[in-house]
Chains A and B, each alone.
Chain A
């Protein structure tokens, strides 16, 4: 048993060291947000904890200064909520269609779902950009929400989840005279609740952090989301480090709080699909 204690200690120390390495960038950005931007320009991001240069100035500027940070913050919040709500409703409905029925073309359609997961979205950037331009949706949130509303990964996850639900529920619903849609809304949706939590968290995290496509679509800085806004603080003519660093730090906080509260759902959503391949 003594050997076990040695192993346990060795393992613990190994992971503690790895954990510290992983947390170092967070430590660096946290202390940097208490230092003046000039310090960053002069010394870069560093590990020096020096109370003599640290102050709450950046935070004061974040909350009271003349900048659009909180506009971007609330845009992100709004877009995330809208995107998650629509994506979940649409994807769940589609997944139910795939799971509850046999119909002509079902297999081919499902292969298309899988195919989407294998085609790099980036190659669609230009044609999608011209399409959005042509139908006049440029600079609108619908241009960001609509293409992802039937999310392949989310459909896949919901279908897996639904495959574990007995089909008898559906037949029982029919016997009781419920319509096809009534069965879905009144019997199936309530059962799906736990899987909604996992997908809400995963989609929410992706949406909150999404950058490339919104960056291409949005041109009005009042409509920018947080990552785009932060990116614009870096310019070839100079960088607004005071706001950038404290803004970056602050942008991680909400998702951290969510993570601590709903860890299980983050992890369920993240690892969905990995096991069955």
Chain B
């Protein structure tokens, strides 16, 4: 009887998707809900929570360190967008050109950095950007007569190290995204354009860029997400969650500091909710502007 029920064509689909429903409820809906309710409470592990209304949020609005963290994450995200979308797109177009030798070889070697864990990559970059005269970046700058710098002690140079790390790890991956987008553009378009006498540049702006739009939107969406949620990169470069004057503090870093390091779970939950709101607003606006919600796409 039960067997017949489970084996019916009406019930079977639910059996198939049941694991997703369970994981979604237990590990997403419940934590998200409890995060939301925690953000209105004062919570310390091992003690009863107290409802405090909007206190956490009002306190957050006056919290200079929090705004420092938001600004850091936002600047980091913008810098990665400015570098990690146009350049990989250009590289993909160049590498895809008929004039390219050893295409497969370059495709793979650009991908190599993505294989490293952020712990290993972060350690390598921390040491490359070391403050000693002999460490890699400083000794290269020395060749140009530039004095050795303490990269990880200043705001601007700190960003340089962070963005260098992101660029190193993700250029190749984003290039692959664009390459797979390029594969879907039929050659006929370019042939027709050539017959009409279009220049290389015109072909790029009139055919390639518009037809790469879905890929660009995808890369933009994941880059916004990754930029705003960045934490470990900073933790590795500064060997912990503390950087001089919080130059490397990110939103998630602040969430971690308040929640795990200071056991201030309610306040940290409010930080998380604000992060969620920022990510959703930026991404939904971006998707609406790029026309992703229109039916014909």
Contact = CB atoms under 8 A, between A and B. Distances in A.
Contact of B136 (A46, A100, A270): A46
B112 interface: yes
A266 B108 CA distance: 10
Contact of B19 (A7, A15, A45, A149): A149
Interface string A75-96: 0000000000000001001101
Contact of A43 (B135, B173, B231): B135
A130 B26 CA distance: 13
B58 interface: no
Contact of B232 (A11, A125, A211, A239): A211
Contacts of B13: 97, 100-101, 103, 106
B101 A122 contact: no
A48 B140 CA distance: 11
Interface in B68-126: 91, 94-95, 97, 99-102, 106-121, 123-125
A256 B114 CA distance: 11
Contacts of B240: 236
Contact of B108 (A18, A118, A263): A263
A176 interface: no
Contacts of A28: 124, 127-128, 136
B209 interface: no
Contacts of A93: 16, 19
B141 interface: no
A44 to B, nearest CB: 2
Nearest to B242: A236
Contact of B117 (A46, A130, A227): A227
B85 to A, nearest CB: 13
Given A180-B9, A230-B120, A23 B108 contact: no
Nearest to B125: A25
Interface string A1-32: 00010011001101100110011111011001
Contacts of A29: 120, 124
Interface string A213-256: 00010000000001110110010100100001100100110011
Contact of A211 (B118, B127, B130, B134): B118
A155 interface: yes
B201 interface: no
In this complex, which of B15, B28, B45, B225 has the most chain A Cβ atoms within 10 angstroms of its Cβ?
B28
Contacts of B10: 103
Contacts of A130: 34, 45, 265
A251 B158 CA distance: 27
Interface in A186-216: 205, 208-212, 216
Contacts of B272: 122-126
Interface in A124-142: 124-131, 133
Interface residues of B, number: 104
A119 B221 CA distance: 11
B184 interface: yes
B116 A44 contact: no
A4 B7 contact: no
A184 B7 CA distance: 12
A150 interface: yes
A122 B26 CA distance: 16
Interface string B224-239: 0100110110001001
Nearest to B226: A120
B252 interface: yes
Nearest to A210: B117
Nearest to A147: B27
A40 B126 CA distance: 12
B31 A127 contact: yes
Nearest to A3: B99
Interface of A: 4, 7-8, 11-12, 14-15, 18-19, 22-26, 28-29, 32, 40, 42-48, 90, 93-94, 96-98, 100-101, 103, 106, 109, 112-113, 116, 118-131, 133, 146-147, 149-150, 155, 179-181, 184, 205, 208-212, 216, 226-228, 230-231, 234, 236, 239, 244-245, 248, 251-252, 255-256, 259, 263, 266-267, 270-271, 273-277
Ranked 6 nearest A-B pairs via Cβ: A44-B135, A97-B16, A44-B130, A43-B134, A209-B117, A45-B127
Given A123-B273, A150-B20, 16 more contacts: A8-B99, A25-B113, A42-B132, A45-B124, A101-B13, A119-B276, A127-B30, A129-B260, A131-B26, A131-B30, A205-B115, A256-B112, A259-B111, A266-B111, A270-B173, A275-B184
Interface of B: 7, 9-10, 12-17, 19-24, 26-28, 30-32, 34-35, 38, 45, 91, 94-95, 97, 99-102, 106-121, 123-125, 127-128, 130-132, 134-136, 138-139, 168, 171-173, 176-177, 179-181, 183-184, 214-215, 217-219, 221, 225, 228-229, 231-232, 236, 239-240, 252, 255-256, 259-260, 265, 268-269, 272-273, 275-276, 279-280, 283, 292, 297
25 contacts: A23-B112, A25-B121, A25-B168, A28-B128, A28-B136, A44-B128, A45-B136, A48-B134, A90-B19, A93-B19, A97-B12, A97-B17, A112-B28, A123-B35, A123-B273, A123-B275, A126-B268, A130-B45, A155-B20, A234-B239, A255-B115, A270-B177, A274-B219, A275-B214, A275-B215
